[in-house]
Amino acid sequence: MKKKFYITTSIAYTNMLPHLGFALELIQADVLARYNRILGKDTFFLTGTDEHGKKVAEAAEKVGKAPAKFSSEIAARFKALTKTLNLSNNDFIRTTDKERHWPVVKKVWLGLKKKGDIYKKKYKGLYCVGCEAFITKKDLKEGRCVIHQKEPEKIEEENYFFRLSKYSKKIEKIIKKNEIRIIPESRKNEMLSFTKQGLQDVSFSRPKKGLKWGIPVPDDDSQTVYCWADALINYLSGAPGRWPADVQCIGKDIQKFHCLIWPGMLLSLGLQLPKIIFVHGFVTVENQKMSKSLGNVIDPFELVKKYGTDPVRYFLLREIPPTEDGDYTRQKFEGRYNSDLALGLGNLVARVITLAEKFKIQNPKPKINPGLKKEIEKSKEAWTKTLDEFKFNEALIAIWRLISFCDRYIEKEKPWKESEKQLSIINDLLFALENIAQILKPFLPDTSEKILRQLNSKKSKPLFPRI
Ligand SMILES: [Zn+2]
């Protein structure tokens, strides 16, 4: 039986159009999905949209649209983005899906209630609409939410609560012992600093009069299910029979929900836990946070339109450290494009295919120069090792080391000059190219295919025209 591999991204909140930061998460998850398919695993890759909650309702109201219409339009853009980025996702779940998602939310709610983990309580607190969460004074700086730079609302109401405190000790142990492995280690420690203080119960509903845009609480129509409780359940509703997830990819801003509340819900339901939670950082623009008010939001559609899908994938995977913040600038992007893609990979492919075309070399034979062979093996080993550790940038560095080795091999052996070895050198290079195309596949799937096609047809066509 094939080993299964289930991977998820967080689902995008439909209060604003997609930006480059979320594209990073989608692409990272796509690399892992494609890699695990190459390893022969029965892979399922899920993404989607998180559409309920006050933030979406407010954004809709601002432009004078009904939340359902507004949210559908944005969800369509996120769905289009999966095509634009050439993602290999198996499905796309929307939390507004009344056939697939709502019944599972109802089932989960009733399951938590049956366990005695849902109760009603009067509550007074501060709510940040940006976070879609109650926050405490500790989360504030000069009276504003640290993440959203916004003053929270003072709220006094009767809500249903989830008894997260009951699972606090257990969650701590699970994280400590890597039963859920949080990558990177620094994020794991951050979560442990929360469990150390003891987790508090969390509000799991809001009165309907204040929030209509959401799923009604199953046996109390006067309340709406809290949008996070609703959203997390997509990992169950979007891929029936697939749970537990092997990897859940998320951003650092929504860690608490995934590493603390979500495991609490799963423990209450008696379901298995995700194996790995992989946390990426943010993409900044000229070292500033991307934000509407700064007007520096990078639109991934525009970037792909200008440079192509694979260059955008390459930049994000190579330039942004997988678990830290990384910076986008046009200069950095075009620098990477010209040096690594146009001059590096593109140039090597053009040189080798042109030679093969000229000397009519057929399919490469695997008997090649031992030095080059060793270099190929080294790259493949590094490829597996770094991908197993989610180090996308290091995997690409290993591939580009092989590309440079081939360049040096060409300079040294001068295969354009007539000699005894000439044909075997070209054969060596074709063999190396074939291997490069194979290990590029999870990162640059389209480019990989193009190289393999050129190897087959022996017709050279530029991959990355210089800009
Ligand atoms: Zn906030």
Q: Which two tokens stand for residue 251?
A: 């951003």
Element (H, E) at 231: helix 227-232
| Amino acid identity for residue 461 in this structure | K
Residues 6+ apart with CB under 8 A from 170: 267
Alpha carbon distances (Å) from 391 to 36, 168, 317, 441, 453? 15, 31, 9, 16, 28
Distance in Å, CA 145 to ligand 1 centroid: 5
Q: Indicate the length of the chain as a whole number.
A: 467
Sign of the torsion formed by the C-alpha atoms of 276, 95, 29 and 27: negative
Distance in Å, CA 95 to ligand 1 centroid: 22
Distance in Å, CA 71 to ligand 1 centroid: 21
Distance in Å, CA 189 to ligand 1 centroid: 22
- Say which DSSP state 413 is in: H
Distance in Å, CA 131 to ligand 1 centroid: 4
Distance in Å, CA 227 to ligand 1 centroid: 15
Closest CA to 451 of 443, 441, 442, 405: 441
**What CA–CA distance (Å, rounded) separates 356 from 430?**
8
Distance in Å, CA 166 to ligand 1 centroid: 26
Distance in Å, CA 147 to ligand 1 centroid: 5
Q: Which two tokens stand for residue 248?
A: 């859940």
**What CA–CA distance (Å, rounded) separates 312 from 306?**
10
Closest CA to 454 of 463, 466, 445: 463
pLDDT in tens, the chain (467 residues): 899 999 999 999 999 999 999 999 999 999 999 999 999 999 999 999 999 999 999 999 999 999 999 999 999 999 999 999 999 999 999 999 999 999 999 999 999 999 999 999 998 999 998 888 889 888 899 999 988 888 999 999 999 999 999 999 999 999 999 999 999 999 999 999 999 999 999 999 999 998 899 999 999 999 999 999 999 999 999 999 999 999 999 999 999 999 999 999 999 999 999 999 999 999 999 999 988 778 899 999 999 999 999 999 999 999 999 999 999 999 999 999 999 999 999 999 999 999 999 999 888 888 999 999 999 999 999 999 999 999 999 999 999 999 999 999 999 999 999 999 999 999 999 999 999 999 999 999 999 999 999 999 999 999 999 99
Distance in Å, CA 243 to ligand 1 centroid: 30
pLDDT in the model for residue 131: 87
Distance in Å, CA 444 to ligand 1 centroid: 36
pTM check: above 0.75: yes
**What CA–CA distance (Å, rounded) separates 119 from 160?**
5
Distance in Å, CA 150 to ligand 1 centroid: 7
Residues paired with residue 171 on neighbouring β-strands, in sequence order: none
Q: Going edge to edge, which strands form the sheet with 326-328?
A: 288-289, 283-285, 326-328
Distance in Å, CA 253 to ligand 1 centroid: 10
pLDDT in the model for residue 274: 98
Task: For the beta carbon of residue 38, count every other beta carbon within 10 angstroms.
Answer: 14
Residues 6+ apart with CB under 8 A from 419: none
**What CA–CA distance (Å, rounded) separates 293 from 47?**
28
Distance in Å, CA 137 to ligand 1 centroid: 12
Distance in Å, CA 128 to ligand 1 centroid: 5
Helices 185-197, 168-176: inter-axial angle, 10-degree rounding: 160
- Say which DSSP state 282 is in: -
Q: Going edge to edge, which strands form the sheet with 216-217?
A: 205-207, 220-225, 216-217
Q: Which two tokens stand for residue 354?
A: 């042109």
Distance in Å, CA 434 to ligand 1 centroid: 49
Closest CA to 162 of 211, 96, 225, 243: 225
pLDDT in the model for residue 436: 98
Closest CA to 340 of 317, 322, 362: 317
Residues paired with residue 144 on neighbouring β-strands, in sequence order: 141
Distance in Å, CA 106 to ligand 1 centroid: 27
Distance in Å, CA 212 to ligand 1 centroid: 21
Sign of the torsion formed by the C-alpha atoms of 229, 253, 323 and 45: positive
Instruction: Phi first, then psi: give them for residue 351, nearest 5 degrees.
Output: -60, -50
Residue with the two structure tokens 């990272």: 28
Distance in Å, CA 132 to ligand 1 centroid: 7
pLDDT in the model for residue 365: 87
Q: Are strands 276-280 and 247-251 parallel, antiparallel or unpaired?
A: parallel
